[in-house]
Amino acid sequence: MDLTIHQNCPSCGAKIELHEDDRLIRCPYCDVQNFMVTRGTLRFVLPDKVPVHIRRRDIFYAPYLRFKGNVYYCKGEHQKYKVVDTTQQGLNASALPPSLGFRPQAMAVSLVTEDVKGIFLRQTVKARTLLERAAQLTVIDSDSIKAPFYHRAYIGETLSCIYLPLYIDDGILYDGVTNKALAQGGSAGKMRKGGDRYHTNWTPHFLATLCPGCGFSLAGDHDSLVLSCYNCYSSWQEKQGGFKKISWSCVATDYKEMYFLPFWKLQVESTGLTMTTFADFLRLTNQPKVIQKSHRDRALSIYIPAFKLRPSTFLRLGKNMTLAQEKIPQGEASMVKRMHPVTLQRKEAIQALKSVLAGAALNKRQLFPRLPDVHFHALQTELVYLPFFDRGHDYVQEHTGLPLAKSILHFGRKL
């Protein structure tokens, strides 16, 4: 589930409401558009009901780490996946609740800013530990499979820190959200030593959405990670605090009212298993196709959806689009209006390569034990927009005939 976030407009200061995955922010009051750039882990604080006699600077904030994403793994002859949304303690403290439960989804949180006074307790649990715990949730589903793990990947994940307000009154530690007592004998001085004040690098900063190439206004949806310029036909992705131009193309169509979905087209080669051509991919995945000269002459490209989907649909679409790549024409620099936003970064597409390979394998018993030794190297990356017919409940790709339910596409924007 998404977090609802209260934030001040970076241009006019008005109170606006965001969602967790929002990046392109348009203020409804001043109508100015900004792109939010995170500096490490996003930090939020739950709303509190701390009594008025407690000074704001005496409030403590306990960190909870939140992981939301999809975990893919290969075990034995099986490929499994799980959607995980979990919040766990960011420090080891027996007096505190082990989890925030549904509070982050039920309450509107706020970004941590300099206006939040008090002490922020230091995080002692590493983010990697939380990922390992999230992975253990997939093990529960696979206990009946008595075989080794060959591969695990986290794709489309979001990692954030949510602070729980606490306060001490008359020697008792209280939950600042519910005002319920948590433990006795709390020492304000001891807790103060284990915390820090606000750091300026915790707050995201904002970029003006002007094309670095021509100065025209960049366009995109609220959760877009790639912005488009319809004046100079360029696409831009945030990197290291600025916009970087990326390679992109759009496959032309003779039909009107088409909807265009983005895919990362990754030309790759691999070590561990030799894959440099499309023929290598067909042979290693044991596809029921006669290898042709055209397959041997075609450099290996793997198509990864550049948008979040349910794990089963994500793997199926990536596999089928990769296998049908001969039918897809070369794209051109012609920008269209009805484009689905890019919500999956290139680096995550690279992380998904091995999972798509595993999903395409027909003889999993033969391929899976070799997965730990497989390493992909992306030679070229291009963002390709493919045209889809609108068939009511489904979108259908023009050249391959591959369908995608609109409901699944809509649900993917909430993952």
The residues that bridge with 16 in the sheet, in sequence order, are 7
Residues of the chain with pLDDT under 70: 1-2, 133-145, 185-192
Write out the DSSP string of 97-135.
-S--TTHHHHSEEEE--TT--SEEEPP-S-HHHHHHHHH
Q: Are 267 and 349 in contact (CB under 8 A)?
A: no
Domain ranges of the chain: 38-205, 247-412
DSSP SS3 for 223: coil
Q: What is the pLDDT of residue 128?
A: 73
Q: Are 174 and 180 in contact (CB under 8 A)?
A: yes
Count of Cβ atoms closer than 10 Å to residue 66 Cβ: 23
Angstrom distance (rounded) from CA 23 to CA 186: 40
Q: Which residues contact 75 (CB under 8 A, 6 or more apart)?
A: 142, 145, 147, 148, 149, 150
DSSP SS3 for 327: helix
Q: What is the pLDDT of residues 108-118, one digit of tens each?
A: 888 888 888 89
The residues that bridge with 71 in the sheet, in sequence order, are 82, 154
CA-based torsion, 23, 239, 155, 66: positive or negative: negative
Angstrom distance (rounded) from CA 101 to CA 171: 26
Residue-level length of the chain: 415
Q: What is the pLDDT of residue 308?
A: 94
Q: Are 236 and 204 in contact (CB under 8 A)?
A: no
Distances in Å between the Cα of 209 and the Cα atoms of 25, 162, 246, 309 are: 10, 28, 16, 27
What's the predicted TM-score (pTM) here? 0.89
Q: What is the pLDDT of residue 374?
A: 93
Angstrom distance (rounded) from CA 90 to CA 11: 33
Q: What is the pLDDT of residue 390?
A: 95
User: Which helix (H) or strand (E) is 190 found in, with range?
Assistant: helix 188-193
Q: What is the pLDDT of residue 307?
A: 96
Angstrom distance (rounded) from CA 199 to CA 184: 30
Angstrom distance (rounded) from CA 373 to CA 375: 6
Q: Are 279 and 316 in contact (CB under 8 A)?
A: no
Q: What is the pLDDT of residue 367?
A: 93
Max CA pair span of the chain? 81
396 φψ region: left (φ > 0), alpha (ψ -120 to 50), beta (else)? beta
Q: Are 132 and 126 in contact (CB under 8 A)?
A: no
